[in-house]
Amino acid sequence: MDNFAAHTLPEDMLSYEGFRNAVLEDYRIVVESRETSLFGRKEVLTGKAKFGIFGDGKEVAQVALSKFFQPGDFRSGYYRDQTWMFASGIGTIQQFFAQMYADPNKEHDPFSAGRQMVSHYATANTDENGEWVNLAAQKNVAADMAPTAAQMPRSVGLALASKLFRNSKTLKPLTNLSNNGNEICFCTIGDASTSEGHFWEAVNAAGVMQIPLAIFVWDDGYGISVSKENQTTKGSISAALKGLQKRPDTNGIDIYTVKGWDYAGLCEIFENGINKIRETHIPAVFHVEELTQPQGHSTSGSHERYKTPERLQWERDWDCVKKMREWIIENSIATSEELFEIEIEAKKKVQQSRNSAWKEYIQPIREQAAKAIELIQAITVNDIDRHGQLQALIKQLQQNTEPLRKDVMKAVAAAALIAKNYPGHSDLLDYYNQLKDLNKSLYGSFLYNEGVKAAVKVKEVKPEYGIKPTIANGYEILNKYFDQLLSNDPRVVAFGEDVGLIGDVNQAFAGLQLKYGDDRVFDTGIRELTIIGQGTGLALRGLRPIAEIQYLDYLVYGLEQLTDDVASLHYRTNGLMSCPLIVRTRGHRLEGIWHSGSPMGMVINSLRGMYVCVPRNMTQAAGMYNTLLQSNDPAIVVESLNGYRLKEKLPLNLLDFRVPMGIPEILKEGDDVTIVSYGSVLRIIMDAAAKLEKEKISCEVIDVQTLLPFDTEHSIVESLKKTNRIIFIDEDVPGGAAAFMFNKVIEEQQGYRYLDAAPKTLTGKEHRPSYGSDGDYFSKPNAEEIYEAVIALMAE
């Protein structure tokens, strides 16, 4: 036993026998994982699986890494980490194949119920009632994503949480969420993906904040077909990062390099580096070099097309499994014959796991097909052509030995159409509807929380006012609200550009950093992507972050993290994970192209899975925050930029009143025309409505309050039944949020039935708002335009 064994292994490995058993167990996992990749590729080539992307070539590095992954830690990785998950006991080989087959049974694929590709893992952070599980006692996995480097921003937040848990006295009692901040976020990424801006922004943020983030770069020399010399400065990410190296008198990161085939070296460097991160919270990058891709990038192509014969031979010679085998024999840990036995057993185990996964996947579909055949055979038709068509459908189902659910649905639908008005048709139609309901549940559930922690289930509580209510500026309402919130809930943290020291550009957090500390209210750099990432990671770890994007226009920088991760998380994990992030921003009217945008169409179409709140004033915004904080759903709250210094009444129950999600509010009742809108433009609409009253036109003005969800009780169509005319007004571009509202009311709520005139939309112009007050007036709906549009509508 060499120095590696004496210095790096746990106590149960310090005896020779313990050391030997541990090494051979690692080798078993390595070989099983390799066989899993080899069998997986065959499943794609034979057509049983749709696509395959595997972790072959990275097995030894990952089995070494798994030794230092402890309860409480979080993994934030990507789709090459199968060996790590096998070694950590989080995923099994059979579950791996269930993912390959896209098995929608959550018992078979507990990570996504068939909704994600193979090797996309996740662990629950809440229970069935939406309560937080004991994250400190389990090994945690933030749900994997396929977009390159998308895991980087949220890794910053996962690591930042440990820093807050360690430093914040208010968080010390939350021992189910953290063990004094000792947890590390382990982030894995392919070398080519370090070219993404996500990587650089995240590494810089980690170096500035000094958080326990361990980044492992799997370097196999290529990004699909492009070599790393064409991807990375100096052809080496560790060399390119040298300027960020921490020194005794600076912040920064530590950088380690290690060979991916060197089992002993990997264990030693990982142990030393990870222990340092855990103790000091200094982030580190581990550049794992000289890895191989035995089967190429994925099943979509062959790496023989772009790798030279010399490179391919090098990969065979330096394959990590081969090198580990040689190391074991050279150090007399086991004989070649003993390793051969392990290899034979590994192949058998993988084959058995594959067969079991396939059987569990295909059996329910075959049962559906058999039931469909039975029902179609029971139909009696007296038309020879129809009889022949039904027999063809039966034959088609009988000959399809590996049917998909859609094959059964299509056959039943076709048979139901053929057999209409014949005996047996009703039974067939009933079965078709049963399958529709089943498949809707399998493939369409959990976009949002569906249990008690669903934001739509939070009941409305009206604001209460005294006999002589206090009148305050909008920003003062928010300031008092956030003060009470931070005092009441230790899990709440707020951050963003200029949020800390000066209390945000509109003063809603003024004085609150001084009062509650810079671990509760704090500044960030100008880096919207990782601001969203910080919020995402903190929310995944049980905190209640309010992440500020200074202006709605700048949300585009952080949109990828929101749409690919936050908005899809609950759905793609089949309800396993929740991310109650609140993104606070401000938009709509101000002055200029970059500070007055209302890209709500972009937001609502890219953020399905989040709530989109559009308060018209700051009191309403506070009520929305209260509602959201009672739920586990993520949301964006777009405050009105020009409303911070407008006067409002201060509610007495500031921390307790709640604005319901998806329930519009009638601001003014009327009989002649329904005007539907939200946010800042409502004030202009109310001015126009007052002028229209002088023309004997009675306007009913409705504030939708939230765009997602939208009018869940269909109250707007009730207004339309009364007025028979409707106009949707919006600051977004034509075809944006106004078109969305139009679709919901006129089509979904069947508002077209009650129209006496064509429904209208009035929106901002196609160009971005021009600078200055005149630019605002002529770029967005103004009172005169609204007046004229309603007059024209009434004239139809």
What DSSP state is assigned to residue 131?
Answer: P
Token pair recorded at residue 491 = 């899990």
Bridge partners for 549 per DSSP: 585
Structure token pair of residue 711: 């009018």
Are the beta carbons of 186 and 77 closer than 8 angstroms? yes
What does the alpha-carbon distance between residue 634 and residue 228 come to, in Å, rounded to a whole number?
Answer: 38
Spatial distance between the Cα atoms of 647 and 730, rounded to a whole number of angstroms = 23
DSSP for 717-753, please give it.
HHHHHHHS-EEEE-SSPTTSHHHHHHIIIIIIT-GGG
- CA 581 vs. chain centroid, Å, equals 11
From 281, 297, 425, 595, active-site residue? 595
- Distance, in Å, from the CA atom of 386 to the CA atom of 2, rounded to the nearest integer, reads 79
Closest CA to 207 of 277, 288, 279: 277
Tell me which residue of 702, 646, 673 sits closest to 789, measured CA to CA.
673
For the beta carbon of residue 20, count every other beta carbon within 10 angstroms: 18
CB 585 within 8 A of CB 552: yes
Q: What are phi and psi of 291, to 5 degrees?
A: -85, 165
Give the Cα separation of 537 and 529 in Å (integer): 12
595 is catalytic: yes
Which two three-digit tokens encode residue 15?
């005896």
The helix-helix angle for 320-330 and 263-280 (nearest 10°) equals 100
Neighbour count for residue 341 (Cβ, 10 Å): 11
Is there a contact between 648 and 477 (Cβ–Cβ < 8 Å)? yes
- Residue 318 CA to residue 375 CA, distance in Å, equals 58
Residue 259 DSSP code: E
Measured distance CA(373)–CA(209) in Å, rounded: 63
Q: Which two tokens stand for residue 263?
A: 């089992």
Hunting for tokens 């979509």 — which residue is that? 300
User: Strands 222-223, 213-218: parallel, antiparallel or unpaired by DSSP?
Assistant: unpaired
Sign of dihedral through CA atoms 219, 221, 225, 230? positive
Distance of CA 426 to the CA centre of its chain: 42
DSSP, collapsed to helix, strand or coil, labels residue 418 as: helix
140 phi/psi in degrees, rounded to 5? -110, 145
- How far is the C-alpha of 776 from the C-alpha of 592, rounded, in Å? 8
Task: State the first-to-last Cα distance of the chain, in angstroms, to the nearest integer.
Answer: 92
Q: What is the dihedral of CA 518, 523, 529, 532, to 10 degrees?
A: 40
Radius of gyration of the chain (CA): 30
Tell me the C-alpha distance between 93 and 348, whole Å.
12
Structure token digits, residue 744:
């919901």
Q: In degrees, to the nearest 5, what angle opens at C-alpha 91 toward C-alphas 89 and 93? A: 110
Single-letter amino acid, residue 777: Y
Task: Give the residues across from 677 on adjacent strands.
Answer: 703
User: In what helix (H) or strand (E) does residue 347 lie, and over which residues does it extend?
Assistant: helix 336-377
Joined together, the tokens standing for residue 34 give 């390799």
Chain position carrying tokens 């059979």 = 94
Quick check: 575 and 128 in contact, CB under 8 A? Answer: no
CA distances from 662 to 90, 371, 657, 714, 727 (A): 38, 41, 16, 9, 19
Active site residues: 595
